[in-house]
Each structure stands twice: as C-alpha cells, then as structure tokens.
Amino acid sequence: MLTPDFNSLRSIYWFIRYNRKFNEAKRRQYYRRAAKEKQRLIAMGYDSELVRLACRAFIHPRNEAAADRVTKLWGVLGGVAP
C-alpha cells in the first residue's frame, strides 16, 4: 500500500494503541513523536491529506473505510514516493 517511509509512523501508532488505557504520559510522548514524523513526511513531499488519512487508518486498523480512502488517494496521486 504505502511506501516504507510510513513504517515508523505505523509503529508509533501501534504504541499509541497499546498504551491507550495504561499510561497517559507515554501515550502523549508517542503523539508528540507522531506529530514530528508527520511533519517529516510532509517535508519530504507527501501530500498532507495522505498523511492525515494514513494516521487515521493506523490508529483504527479495523476501520476498512479509512484504509480504503488511503488506498484510493494513493492511487490518485500516482502511487509513487516523492
């Protein structure tokens, strides 16, 4: 689906889901990391809407509609990394 550039963002959101109810401080720390990673991807030339939709799909992995929107936008944008 997405390029390997999104792997670190995917792993950050896994930690956010894991720490959802257990450790609020750790969860906030991962949200700050995710914000920095999103800015890095946008600075690399990825579309900000693609990054937003990818984050939405990563935080709710069972939401098939969110994953479909990412795939659809990725196809519209040409499916290539900047």
pLDDT tens, residue by residue, 15-55: 998 887 778 889 999 999 999 999 999 999 999 999 999 99
Would residue 30 count as lying in a domain? Answer: yes
CA distance 20 to 77: 33
Residue 54 lies in a domain: yes
Residue 59 covered by a domain: yes
Q: What is the length of the chain? A: 82
DSSP class of residue 62 equals T
In a domain, 71, yes or no: yes
Give the pLDDT of residue 81: 60
pTM: 0.84
Residue 81 lies in a domain: no
15: domain range? 4-76
Q: Residues 34, 13: contact at Cβ < 8 Å?
A: yes
In this prediction, residue 55 carries a pLDDT of: 92
Distance between first and last Cα of the chain:
15
pLDDT at 66 over 70: yes
Model confidence band, residue 77 (pLDDT cutoffs 50, 70, 90): confident
Query: 46, 5 in Cβ contact below 8 A?
Result: yes
Domains held by the chain: number: 1
